[in-house]
Homo-oligomer: A and B are copies of this chain.
Amino acid sequence: MNITYPASKKIYLAGKIHGIRVGMRRISLTDTVAENGQHTKNDPVVVYDTSGAYSDNSVSVDIAKGLPRLREAWIALRNDTEQLPAFSSAYCNSGLNDRSSGSVRFPVTHLPKRARTGKDITQMYYARQGIITPEMEYVAIRENMQNDVSGISTRITPEFVRSEVAAGRAVIPANPNHPEAEPMIIGTNFSVKINTNIGNSALSSGIEEEVEKAVWSCKWGGDTLMDLSTGNNIHETREWIVRNLPVPVGTVPLYQALEKVEGNISHLTWEVYRDTLIEQCEQGVDYFTIHAGLLQAHLPLVKGRTTGIVSRGGSIIANWMVLHGQENFFYTRFEDICGILKQYDVAVSLGDGLRPGCINDANDDAQFAELSVLGDLTLTAWKHHVQVLIEGPGHVPMHRIKANMDEQMRHCHGAPFYTLGPLTTDIAPGYDHITSAIGAAQIAWYGTAMICYVTPKEHLGLPDREDVRAGVVAYKIAAHAADLAKGHPGAQVRDNALSKARFDFRWKDQFNLSLDPEKALEYYQAGRMESETDHCTMCGPHFCAMKLSKGVCR
C-alpha cells in the first residue's frame, strides 16, 4: 500500500534535543513567468503530513507486517516499562488460542508493554516532571508547519508543548503498545485536528476494506482514527488497523464489551468491561471514549427530548442503569479505570452520552449537567496523570455554539474539547458533512482542539471510500479555516502560495497545493476545451478578471 501526492517529496526534519526525524511533505512549485519571459522562483511549501511511511518512497509497507515501530527505541530508553510475558486479558488469550479466527488474524510478533510497578509513564506525568520527551519535540517540530521556510516565527517550542501537556491543556496520545503512530498533539493552542471514524457493523464491511479505508483517511489528512466496529472480529479488525496506522487510534471499549455478552445490556459487568480495557490497552489503542459522566440523576432530564439519547455508548449505559437500578459503573469505577489507563498511557476521552441529537435538544439541562460531571472526572484522571479529552456535541444551531465552548471552559479546567460537528441544522441528510463543517469551523475557532468528522452518509448508512474522502476534506477545510482565524503560525502560507499560483495561472501548482489535488485536476480537465493556459472555462478569454487585472495591479 502506498500514498502519493503530486509534486511532493517526503522530507524529514531533525530534532535538536532528541535524535528524531519528523516526516513532513514538501510541495515543489514552478517559477512565476512574467510577460517579458523573466522567471522568478517560488519557494516550496512544507505541509503537515499524516500519511506516515506510506508516502515515503524509500519504505515499502507490507500491511501483513505492519508499519515501522518508530517510537520503540524512545520507549525503551525511558526504561520505565516492562514487556509482559503474555497478554493480560482473558478474552485476548482465549482468542489467540482460538484457531477458527486464524484466517483473519494479524500475526502477533510483539508482546505488550506496561508501566513497571511504581512507575508513571504518561506524557502528562513526564511533562509535570519537566521532562521534554521525544514525542513532545516531535510535535513541536511538526506544528511549525513552515519551519524550513524562513521568516515564520516559531511560537511552538518543545518547552511550550511540555507546559501545555503538563497543564492538561493538550494531549499527546501515545500508548507504548502503538509505537507505529507518529506523535501528534491535541490542544487549543495547536493546529486544529480532525478525527475520522471507521468501523464495520454487524451488517457490512470486512477487515481488508476497513484497513484500506483507515489508511485512505490518513492520505486525506485524518489526524486520529476511531475504530467503532461493532460486528464480528472486532479484536482482529482492530489489530490490523493499529499495526498499520501512522496516527493514534481510539475506540469505545463498551462496544466490544457488549458484543462479548451477545448484545445483552443487562449482562454487562465491570469484570467484562475491565478485561476489555486491558485487552485494548495491550493491543495499542491510544484513547478510549468512556461515558462516565452520564448519571442516574440525569435520566429524568432526557424525558421530553425530541430525539432522546443519540450517543450509542450513552444509550447503552442509560439502559444498563435503568435495568439494574444502579449508578453508571464507569463513574463509580472511574478511579479503577484510571489505574488501568495510566499503566499504558491511554488517554481518556470523556464521552458526552447526552449530546443533543437535534437542534431542538441543543444546550439543554441534560447536556450541560453531564458536562459538569466530565469536569469533575477530569480532575480525578489528572490525579493519576491520565491525559483527558472532553467530548462535545452534536446538533447545535449557530447562535448556541459558543455557549458550548464557554461551558466546557467553565467546567473542564482547560482539557481539550473534542466535538462531533456540531451540525447546524437537521434538514440535510445526505449533506451532513456540510451542515456540520459549518459548525465545526466555528467551534474550532472558539477553541475546540479536535473535530470529529461527519460523512455524507451520516444518519443514513456506513461510509464508503468516497464518503470518507468527502468527510475528511470537509473537516480539513473546517480545521484550516479555524487555524487561519486563530492565527496559527504559518497556516496562511499555504493559502498565500495557492492564491499566488492562481493569479499566475500556474494551474498545476494551484492543484498541487490544494487539499485534494486529484479532484481539482479532474474538475479542471472536465471543463477544458483545448490547451488554454491563461483563462478557464468559467470566464472564457475576454472575461478573465485575473488576466485583465494584470495590467492594473502590477
Chain A residues proximal to chain B, CB less than 8 Å: 201-204, 230-231, 255, 258-259, 263, 265, 299, 302-303, 305-312, 314-316, 318-319, 322, 357-360, 395, 397-399, 424-431, 433-435, 437-438, 441-442, 445, 456-462, 464, 473-474, 476-478, 480-482, 484-487, 492, 494-496, 498-500, 502-503, 510-511, 513-516, 519-520, 522-524, 526-529, 536-546, 548-554
Contact = CB atoms under 8 A, between A and B. Distances in A.
A78 B479 CA distance: 55
A73 B358 CA distance: 45
A309 B551 CA distance: 10
8 contacts: A306-B496, A308-B546, A312-B539, A319-B551, A358-B495, A398-B441, A457-B527, A460-B523
A537 B482 contact: no
Contacts of A305: 553
Given A434-B477, A510-B429, A538-B462, A548 B309 contact: yes
A527 B459 CA distance: 11
| Max chain B Cβ within 10 angstroms of own Cβ: one of A424, A431, A458 | A431
A397 B491 CA distance: 12
Given A319-B548, A546-B310, A548-B309, A359 B496 contact: yes
Given A255-B543, A425-B481, A485-B398, A499 B358 contact: yes
A498 to B, nearest CB: 5
Contacts of A442: 398, 438, 442
B201 A514 contact: no
B551 A428 contact: no
Contacts of A510: 429, 459
A306 B497 CA distance: 9
B457 A523 contact: yes
B427 A514 contact: yes
A427 B492 CA distance: 9
B546 A307 contact: yes
Nearest to A395: B499
A399 B491 CA distance: 14
Contact of A481 (B316, B398, B527): B398
A433 B434 CA distance: 9
Nearest to A398: B485
A543 B434 contact: no
A202 B12 CA distance: 47
Q: Copy number in this complex? A: 2
| Max chain B Cβ within 10 angstroms of own Cβ: one of A426, A457, A473, A550 | A426
Contacts of A476: 428
A314 B456 contact: no
A481 B548 contact: no
Nearest to A262: B542
A545 B314 CA distance: 8
Contacts of A360: 492, 495-496, 499
Contacts of A311: 545
A426 B537 contact: no
Contacts of A309: 545, 548-549, 552-553
Nearest to A526: B461
Contact of A529 (B204, B460, B487): B204
A549 B511 contact: no
Given A303-B554, A358-B499, 17 more contacts: A201-B543, A303-B553, A306-B500, A307-B546, A310-B545, A311-B545, A316-B543, A398-B481, A399-B487, A424-B477, A424-B485, A428-B480, A429-B498, A460-B527, A460-B538, A461-B538, A462-B537
A302 B554 CA distance: 9
A441 B436 CA distance: 12
Nearest to A204: B537
A16 B553 CA distance: 56
Contact of A430 (B303, B523, B551): B523
A477 B414 CA distance: 32
B552 A308 contact: yes
Contacts of A426: 495-496, 498-499, 502
Nearest to A483: B425
A527 B484 contact: no
- 4 closest Cβ contacts across the A-B interface? A461-B527, A308-B553, A358-B499, A308-B549
A527 B494 contact: no
